[in-house]
A and B are shown apart, each in its own frame.
Chain A
């Protein structure tokens, strides 16, 4: 134990990057719902389309405001002109859907054939009279949720300038969360007399927040480092580096940090957090001492691990696709502090993990719970390793005080299921035993 107390720094490893995650174009699925009256055009191949179609499940049948611009052989071999082709499709979209903004999602193929989307967009924008945003959310550079980062970074350029005369510091939050979470987080800050002046993304493209050098920005999601960089460098905003409002501990630290920047004294904040913890007591008792292994695929891993550590779980490994140590520095500090306060060893943080190696480690450690993608979940369950599929954390509401219970609900579900099943009917012995008991009582 003393050893742990002494070493004051986290250890970071990096593996081969042969791991499973969703393609970043998957962000279309939640962003088209968030930004009303937008239309997302994914410029890619059948492979991209097939992924979206299967990943989005039933959403695809709800006439979504997205489509594929499917590249054909003639596009790839430059027998067709990109500009005229895109113009034709965007005109068609404009006629049938009439969106107020079209977002082009660049893919691996547009990268490799070097299609000049950024060059074509402004020309078409003028000709068609509709804003066209370009985001390169491809699998060559990014993983899953980072897709949102590329879109928000592109949107950050389009935010209007704030009036210079106001010296009043403004607060703009960035990260796509449901409207209800937006309201809850805004109300939470309002309790401490802090007004949220806008959100990136906004519900409507026309309501993008105003930005200036007096604007403070804070991210609510751990995968938005590119957006943060653009807001700081291009829009001269001031970045508040805080842990993310995931879990009551994260929410508390996030509000404290914003309060300190705005020189406000938090009002009853600690008490609020304590009340939330009190409501979680049953779940916390349940997971205390249980071990968890993150295979890593959506960049929420550090924040979730930090929250679970605070709940008393043991975290063996935090796999993560990409870790921006500057953007996540406050979150990493809180993780370190949480480990020290709980007196547990620092978890191993593995960037670009290798699934094959991870499965060997899972076999050795046999953790109580593995948080993983759907490719590995059923095979691990078949090997008696309890899993929770990670994508659920991306689609569920996990931000703020009120969502803490939902996170624990998700993470305890597989463990509770195991208890409810009582006997593992797959193990022949217990099944025979049960059947025998049953026969005796007849």
Chain B
């Protein structure tokens, strides 16, 4: 057993449901007790979805415990198939149903005998994988199932398109800014004259799956979901994939170069070039020129990092925490594009910790790979960075410590499902991120200026109250030292106070005087 107050990644079935409900005309039936259909609330509230979430529950209650849920699950599946005509019904086990150890595979077979709808059992273990791993697994399962099915029917479209084309993977419901990210990638691919054949799973139908192999390559921008598909398609259909995250101006440029490499190799391999391809090659954009154009003129972020405003950010300490995709990309941007000092970078995707470390080798002083928010909180309190880039949880930790926080990764709340266009990917994404970074810091800077010129907090100088609690109750500050402390700008006052107190404890002094204060200052 583990004492837990907060979790970064949800349970496995949430991942499965996110994938299932992203597809069009796929219905998920959860095998779960009453109240576990909380996913529907998330989708309806956070995404403000206009449609009923295609997820229903086959309720596990006392009767089910006594008799088994066979009849009920099969009945519910058939009922749903007959009422809504989905292409696929995905039976989704939950943590409760996985300990019941009922033969759900058998129920799926039984339902299949009655209806012509496809029925699948989501193959995830609740006690071993989290939301992200399950999403990855479920997407692969569905794609694989239909590719094999089409293969048997001989209806698989393996003939490559005449001009370069691509499938995009990993865009799904309740993802962090995924809709906006997709629009941005679509714009870039369109500029490069690369045809988007399919996007999975958001808004795709299962009928789209059979055309996957006719694309030239695959793009998997999110590390958390889609990689299994990418690997599967590479092995079975010899399709290369780009798994770089096009976040930040530098990485987006590299991402375009990755694409260029694949396309060049593939076009070189084609001996009999069609007229369309010849035309395509003739009119093809110069990729390097495109990158330069976009970086210099479309995106303002590279100019921004050169402008004098950005000088103020040099060497500022920050802590980054989030899922692997966003935490890695963000750290790279902060270090390489903004000159900010990432004192600690971390992720809660413990299953992918090695990759995380490998990616950020040399980018930050320390790594934190944990799913315990208290540990992250401790790190933040310890370093007292000028800003945090993290999840909704770090935003709250920051609030308590008076440190500004930019939200860069799920889990997020409703305000991070913005109505306006806010991609994190591509060149427009780079602009958005630059704003996010700058705004987080200026808030801190404004605060600092206000403190120096006594803009607010005037009540403070009239009282002996300190805004941060004393670390040890045995310590007292005398009048003079307290007055001296008040002269220190508010945004570092807490830090100074703690340092002096630690010093006093070390020196076995209980009354803090001005002498102690300065001794502490000089000792550092």
Known interface pairs A72-B127, A375-B44; A18-B59 also in contact (CB < 8 Å): yes
B99 touches A112 (CB 8 A): yes
Chain A 74-101 against B: per-residue CB contact (8 Å), 1 yes, 0 no? 0110001000011011001100000000
Q: Closest CB of chain A to B81's CB: distance in Å?
A: 13
Chain A 45-80 against B: per-residue CB contact (8 Å), 1 yes, 0 no? 111011101110100110010011111110110001
Contacts of B316 in A (CB 8 A): none
Known interface pairs A61-B396, A112-B65; A45-B4 also in contact (CB < 8 Å): no
Tell whether B37 is near chain A: CB-to-CB under 8 Å: yes
A-side interface size class: 35 or more
B6 touches A60 (CB 8 A): yes
- Please provide the chain A residues from 344 to 364 with a CB less than 8 Å away from any CB of chain B in the complex: 355-356, 359
- Please provide the chain B residues from 121 to 141 with a CB less than 8 Å away from any CB of chain A in the complex: 126-128, 130
Known interface pairs A143-B34, A376-B52, A379-B50; A47-B94 also in contact (CB < 8 Å): yes
Closest residue of chain B to A355 (Cβ to Cβ) is: B56
Tell whether B335 is near chain A: CB-to-CB under 8 Å: no
Q: Closest CB of chain A to B254's CB: distance in Å?
A: 36
Contacts of B45 in A (CB 8 A): 374, 378
Q: Closest CB of chain A to B438's CB: distance in Å?
A: 26
Known interface pairs A17-B61, A45-B126, A69-B2; A109-B95 also in contact (CB < 8 Å): yes
Q: Closest CB of chain B to A437's CB: distance in Å?
A: 26
Residue from B2, B5, B44, B59 in contact with A379 in the complex, judged by beta carbons closer than 8 Å: B44
A89 touches B41 (CB 8 A): no
Q: State how many residues of chain B have any CB contact under 8 Å with chain A.
A: 52
Contacts of B13 in A (CB 8 A): 47
Contacts of B99 in A (CB 8 A): 76, 109, 112-113
A379 touches B51 (CB 8 A): yes
Tell whether A405 is near chain B: CB-to-CB under 8 Å: no
Chain A 11-34 against B: per-residue CB contact (8 Å), 1 yes, 0 no? 000000110111111100000000
Contacts of A24 in B (CB 8 A): 35
Known interface pairs A50-B11, A67-B5, A85-B1; A20-B127 also in contact (CB < 8 Å): no
Tell whether A338 is near chain B: CB-to-CB under 8 Å: no
A436 to B37, CA, bound (A): 45
Closest residue of chain A to B51 (Cβ to Cβ) is: A379
Residue from A23, A85, A374, A376 in contact with B35 in the complex, judged by beta carbons closer than 8 Å: A23
Tell whether A281 is near chain B: CB-to-CB under 8 Å: no
Known interface pairs A140-B65, A356-B83, A374-B45; A72-B38 also in contact (CB < 8 Å): no
Closest residue of chain B to A51 (Cβ to Cβ) is: B38
Tell whether A141 is near chain B: CB-to-CB under 8 Å: yes
- Please provide the chain B residues from 42 to 65 with a CB less than 8 Å away from any CB of chain A in the complex: 42, 44-45, 48-53, 56-62, 65
Known interface pairs A140-B65, A356-B83; A53-B35 also in contact (CB < 8 Å): no
B7 touches A108 (CB 8 A): no
Tell whether A382 is near chain B: CB-to-CB under 8 Å: yes
A140 to B34, CA, bound (A): 6
Closest residue of chain B to A112 (Cβ to Cβ) is: B99
A108 to B59, CA, bound (A): 12
A73 to B41, CA, bound (A): 28
Known interface pairs A112-B65, A373-B41; A45-B11 also in contact (CB < 8 Å): yes
Closest residue of chain B to A360 (Cβ to Cβ) is: B83
B35 touches A70 (CB 8 A): no
Residue from B59, B126, B130, B399 in contact with A17 in the complex, judged by beta carbons closer than 8 Å: B59
Contacts of B32 in A (CB 8 A): 47, 139
Identify 5 residue pairs between A and B in the complex whose beta-carbon atoms are under 8 Å apart, listed by A's number. Answer: A22-B38, A23-B33, A68-B2, A139-B33, A375-B37
With contacts A45-B126, A89-B1 known, what are 16 further pairs, Cβ within 8 A?
A23-B33, A23-B35, A23-B36, A25-B35, A26-B35, A47-B126, A68-B2, A69-B4, A70-B1, A73-B127, A75-B1, A109-B99, A112-B65, A140-B65, A355-B56, A375-B40
